[in-house]
Amino acid sequence: MILLGAIVNSAAILVCGAVGLFAGKLLSPRIQKAVTSALALLVMSVAIPGIDDSQKPLVPIFSMVLGVLIGELLDLDKAVNRFGDWLQRKTGSRGRITEGFVTGTMVFVIGAMSIMGSLSSGLSGDHTILYSKSVLDGVSALIFASTMGVGVLLSSVPLFLWQGGIALLAALLSPYLAADVVAEINAVGSLLIMAISLNMLGVTKIRVLNLVPAMLLPILLCRFL
């Protein structure tokens, strides 16, 4: 089922957010930090097997180099953050529900893992990335909902529409992509997930959104390498 990953991710936000409305304040900052570190290791464990999918080592190398050049020139990370700041300015004075909705949407919907997981669901029917993201988002929703209220739960709607749309589009394109192309896309995506886990652990501060263009380049590079 192509949309299963998106459904699970949205459900995790709803369920854990609901728990957070009543019990989220019981988690101390120390426990929150410890849980985040543990989840970062989980994300890393998802990334490592995917890197081994590559059968053409030069494809991920060139994809990452060219992808980061494109991403940095476009500065996707800055553009997304600027959009988030604009949303906060426009809606910040309209109450806690709006604040929770906007914050949840920016955290859960817009991100490299959301895109990569949805592509994986659509291209290969593998929902592992979105399942892992569901755990991360569930913990975040619990914490956010404890301070921002029910608006956080409402962000599950744009999350499902975004991830479901990407997954369906990828499923439509998958018959036209050779198996080696899909494998290299998965390998590049796994490298980006590794970057996310390192950021979560505080080891690096990689602007992962600026690496997202690298995921599309194997479609072209597999024709020549």
Under 8 Å between Cβ of 48 and 197: no
How many CB atoms within 10 Å of residue 180? Answer: 15
Q: Positive or negative, the Cα torsion across 6, 11, 12, 13?
A: positive
* pLDDT attached to residue 94: 54
How many CB atoms within 10 Å of residue 76? Answer: 19
Amino acid type, 53 = D
The structure tokens listed for 145 are 């909902």
Instruction: Report pLDDT digits (tens) over 18-60.
Output: 998 887 667 777 877 787 788 888 888 878 888 887 889 899 9
Domain ranges of the chain: 4-221
Using only the alpha carbons of the chain, give its radius of gyration: 18
Under 8 Å between Cβ of 162 and 13: no
* CB burial string 78-107: b at 16+ within 10 A, e below: eebeeebeebeeebeeeeebbbbbbbbbbb
* pLDDT attached to residue 159: 94
**Cα-to-chain-centroid distance, residue 128:** 12
Under 8 Å between Cβ of 46 and 213: no
Greater model confidence, 46 or 84: 46
Which residue blocks in the chain are alpha helix, DSSP H? 4-23, 29-51, 58-74, 76-91, 96-104, 112-124, 128-148, 151-154, 156-173, 179-200, 218-221
Measured CA to CA, the distance from residue 26 to residue 103 in angstroms comes to 21
Instruction: Report pLDDT digits (tens) over 189-225.
Output: 889 889 888 988 888 888 888 998 998 899 899 988 8
Measured CA to CA, the distance from residue 115 to residue 117 in angstroms comes to 6
Whether 147 has a pLDDT exceeding 60, the answer reads yes
pTM: 0.79
Under 8 Å between Cβ of 167 and 118: yes
